[in-house]
Structure 1
Amino acid sequence: MGVQELRGEQLRAARALLRWSQKKLADEASKISPVSSDTIKRWEAIDGVVNATTTAVSAVVRTIEKAGVELLNDGQPGARLVRTNPSATEG
């Protein structure tokens, strides 16, 4: 998936699948590149494509994918759980 294609709806869905708080997602993504929970909150409020720096979006996408959620963009953007990683979903 191209990181430019991240949508607020996908971010909300992915975080719900992982059962992560906005802070947890921000903390995990910040291990790659700084991302705040306020940023996650702003992005999730968007109904459409997130317009942000490639570095920050990439960090969030990589974190979500590493935790086991696939972001889909085949004409109907969405998210699906592809594997269960108990340690990754705590928080």
Structure 2
Amino acid sequence: MLYGEQLRAARALLRWTLKDLSAKASAIEPVSSDALKKWEATDGPIRGINTKIDAVVKVLEAAGVELLNSDAPGARLRKAG
């Protein structure tokens, strides 16, 4: 499950624009900047097409983001090495 808060935090950690994330995720499954903007405005779990959400998660994780899903969902960068 991906939360709007996590998506905002992850993109900020990577210093990516909505366009950057859209382009990278769209290599797996088309995801528009407008959809990402809507998802980021969500407080709580993102609702959408699972394949699109999965593509975004894969791209973020490949870039080094860890999505934390405990009682306080968040995001952090993996340690180098």
Question: 2:27 matched to 1:31?
Answer: yes
Q: How many residues align?
A: 80
Asked whether the 8 Å contact 1:69–1:83 carries over to 2, the reply is no
Stretches of 4+ moved more than 3 A in 1? none
Q: How many angstroms apart in 2 are the aligned matches of 1:11 and 1:26?
A: 12
TM-score of the two chains, using structure 2 as the length reference: 0.95
Question: 2:66 matched to 1:70?
Answer: yes
Q: CA deviation at 1:75?
A: 1.2
Asked whether the 8 Å contact 1:10–1:77 carries over to 2, the reply is yes
After the TM superposition, which residues 7-22 of structure 1 pair with which residues of structure 2 at under 5 Å, given as runs? 7-22=3-18
Code of the aligned partner of 2:29: S
Q: CA deviation at 1:83?
A: 4.4
CA offsets per residue over residues 42-65 of structure 1, 9 Å max, x none?
000000100011100000000000
Moved more, 18-27 or 74-83: 74-83
Q: Please give the root-mean-square deviation of Cα atoms over the aligned residues, in Å.
A: 0.9
| Aligned-partner SS, 2:12 | helix
